[in-house]
């Protein structure tokens, strides 16, 4: 019997992220407490730039954006946010969305599977994703449950389950 397998990836749906950003931008433009503060949120290449005339306003815009991401089903673990930086008369927060599993996170996940998962399960790192294989589908299900329960600093999706 052939081995069953699945892939562990960390990807952000770009369309959903764009929709969340557009919703946040509309809310910031319409909310009364943001009127006249120069508050905005926009794409700048691959990064998200949040600007406002005070540090608190910039953090409030970031909070609005984060709530829209959550409503769209995007984990905040995939949002990498910098600190507010004063730039002239405005404050900026530069954020980016993380795609792919970094090599050190991949090693942590692989070690977790080796140490706490069933013995028949093998995992191998393939670029920015992991392939997990086993003869038993039940063992693969227990690995998925183990990883969902683990407190990792990366958002994981499980694809290509065969």
| pLDDT given at position 38 | 86
User: Which tokens belong to 79?
Assistant: 């949002």
From the list 98, 89, 34, 35, the residue with the least C-alpha distance to 62 is 34
93-121 pLDDT per residue, tens: 999 998 888 888 889 999 998 888 888 88
| pLDDT given at position 19 | 95
SS3 track for the chain: CCCEEEEEECCCCHHHHHHHHHHHHHHHHHCHHHCCCCCEEEEECCEEEEEECCHHHHHHHHHHHHHHHHHCCCCHHHEEECCCEEECCEEEEEEEECCCCCHHHHHHHHHHHHHHCCCCCEEEEECCEEEEEECCHHHHHHHHHHHHHCCCCCCCEEECCC
74-95 pLDDT per residue, tens: 999 899 998 889 888 899 999 9
42-73 pLDDT per residue, tens: 998 889 999 999 899 999 999 999 999 999 99
Which CATH superfamily does the domain covering 14-97 fall into? YajQ-like, domain 2 (3.30.70.990)
What is the value of pTM for the model shown? 0.84
| pLDDT given at position 3 | 83
Domain boundaries, the chain: 4-10+101-159, 14-97
Same-fold call for 4-10+101-159 versus 14-97? yes
Residue 1, pLDDT above cutoff 70: no
- Split at pLDDT 50, 70, 90, the class of 2 is low
128-161 pLDDT per residue, tens: 889 999 898 888 899 889 888 888 888 888 888 8
Q: Which fold does the domain 4-10+101-159 belong to in CATH? A: Alpha-Beta Plaits (3.30.70)
Token pair 């530069």 is found at: 94
| pLDDT given at position 51 | 93
């Amino acid at each position: 019997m052939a081995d069953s397998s699945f892939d562990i990836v960390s990807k952000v749906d770009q369309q959903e992220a764009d929709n969340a950003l557009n919703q946040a931008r509309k809310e910031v433009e319409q909310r009364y407490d943001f009127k006249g503060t120069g508050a905005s949120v926009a794409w700048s290449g691959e990064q998200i730039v949040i600007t406002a005339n005070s540090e608190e306003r910039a953090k409030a815009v970031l909070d609005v954006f984060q709530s829209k991401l959550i409503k769209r089903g995007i984990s905040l673990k995939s949002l990498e946010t910098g600190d507010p930086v004063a730039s002239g008369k405005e404050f900026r927060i530069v954020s980016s969305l993380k795609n792919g599993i970094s090599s050190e996170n991949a090693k942590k996940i692989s070690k977790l599977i080796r140490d706490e998962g069933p013995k028949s399960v093998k995992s191998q790192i393939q670029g920015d994703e992991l392939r997990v294989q086993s003869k038993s589908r039940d063992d693969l299900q227990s690995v998925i449950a183990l990883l969902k329960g683990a407190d990792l600093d990366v958002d994981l999706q499980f694809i290509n389950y065969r």
